[in-house]
Amino acid sequence: MQENVWKGLAASDTIGILLVILTTIFFLVYILPTLFSTIIETLARSSPENVARQVSSLISSSTISTFESRIEYSPGKDKEYKIEIFDRIVKVGIKSKLAYAEKTESKKPILIDLSYKGEDVNTFIISKKFEGVSSYDFKATKK
Amino acid sequence: MISKQQKNKGIVFTSISIIEGFLVILVVALLLWFSLSRIMEIHVSVEENLNERHSIILANALISNENIAYIKDGKILRGVLDAEKLDKLFIKKSDFLSNIKLLTNDVDLGISYPNSIIIVLVLDLEKCSNNDCDGWIVRLRSLSSLSGISLLNFMDCLNSNIKVDVGTIFRFFLAPPLGGLWQPWDIDKCVKNNIPPSFKSFFNKNRISSQGFPILIKYKDSIHAGRIFVGLGEFI
């Protein structure tokens, strides 16, 4: 009788452990990679490196327009950036709660002369107009 | 009675071990999420040929640039270059032979990447004979924010190593494997002697933009088919 009770106990423990193992495998195979890729993708998309790259490419590409163009780029509504454009260079930094992350910034070259300085922004607007001579305008706002 | 109690005890133990297991998973997930989003700093590195991307953007910008593009009724005709403007701003093939120092003189078209050496070549494909096409060549002015770089020495070095056989030069742009403005070892030598190691050259690469972009060249009374090529070297 006592033996049967221990047997039952051992069996239910085994079922429990198996359940936990199966959940862990499911977690490791399905949930963890999705969680990882979502976090990394979100961080990469909103990283200063990516934002500087996008902004510099969009500014340079705006020169291709022959009449009028307006490009709006918003990397993420929950992020805030500081941006500086000088000497045909775009410098982007991200505002972070961590002190050391504030130092993270990226510089990328652009094709045209522009000058701009802005902080706590997350939307970048590039405009071009051709009226005999090409003129460019850059604005950054918080949305 | 005793056995029933012990059975219930077994079920309780099992539930606890399951809850414990789930808690462990939850704690691990939370730790991972916390370390990834709050503690770890993720740096993005994109593998690409930056020079090629810049060459393509610049070539596209040049064929829309009001300084060299044909303008009709106040509108830029993208991809149609004005031969008269090219004559004024660029150096013609005939002058190229007599003025080998062309690379030390640059032209400002209002667009160029900073800290770069950019050479633009326009070929008229309807003025060719013996694989030799008529055309224009120019070095674009580039802002330099770098100190300690002897750009003039570098350009002099390139000038002294440039091929004077224009036929070969233009054949390079038409059929890249045949040769180039400079031999790769000539550029390497000039870079080694005058430029820091962070210089990235695109002059001798055989990729998309070294095949050039198709354009039209508008003369006074005719339009010819042509190609524009952008050679780029950047200090990164």
Domain boundaries, chain B: 1-43, 50-235
- DSSP string for residues in A68-116: EEEEEE-S-TT--EEEEEETTEEEEEE--SSTGGGG-EEEEE-SS---E
The answer to whether the CB atoms of A109 and B37 lie below 8 A apart is no
**pLDDT for the residue A4:** 60
- State residue A114 phi and psi, 5-degree precision: -145, 155
The answer to whether the CB atoms of A24 and B41 lie below 8 A apart is no
Domain borders along chain A are: 1-45, 48-141
**pLDDT for the residue A10:** 62
**pLDDT for the residue B169:** 44
- Inform me whether the C-beta atom of residue B41 falls under 8 Å from chain A C-beta atoms: yes
- Inform me whether the C-beta atom of residue B13 falls under 8 Å from chain A C-beta atoms: yes
Distance CA A83, CA A118 (A): 5
Q: In chain A, what percentage of residues exceed pLDDT 90? A: 45
Phi-psi domain of A7 (left: phi exceeds 0; alpha: psi -120 through 50; beta: other): alpha
CB neighbours of A32 closer than 8 A, spacing ≥ 6? B29, B32
Closest residue by Cα to residue B86 from B58, B59, B61, B65? B65
Residue with tokens 């039952």: A8
- Inform me whether the C-beta atom of residue A17 falls under 8 Å from chain B C-beta atoms: yes
Average pLDDT over residues A17-23: 79
Distance CA B68, CA B57 (A): 16
Q: Which residues on neighbouring strands pair with residue A70, listed in sequence order?
A: A127
DSSP state of B100: G
The answer to whether the CB atoms of B21 and A32 lie below 8 A apart is no
- Inform me whether the C-beta atom of residue B67 falls under 8 Å from chain A C-beta atoms: no
Question: Is the pLDDT higher at A7 or at B218?
Answer: B218
- Inform me whether the C-beta atom of residue B111 falls under 8 Å from chain A C-beta atoms: yes
Q: What is the ipTM of this complex?
A: 0.73
Q: Which of B44, B60, B111 sits opposite A112 (nearest CB)?
A: B111
**pLDDT for the residue B45:** 66
Q: Which of B10, B46, B69 sits opposite A8 (nearest CB)?
A: B10
Each residue of A37-57: pLDDT tens digit? 777 777 777 788 889 999 999
Tens of pLDDT along chain B (236 residues)? 555 555 555 556 567 777 777 788 788 878 877 776 666 666 666 666 778 888 889 999 999 999 999 999 999 999 999 999 999 998 886 676 566 555 667 889 999 999 888 888 888 989 887 767 788 888 888 887 666 566 667 777 766 665 544 444 444 444 443 335 566 666 677 777 776 666 666 665 555 556 778 999 999 999 999 989 888 878 76
Closest residue by Cα to residue B229 from B118, B87, B129, B83? B118
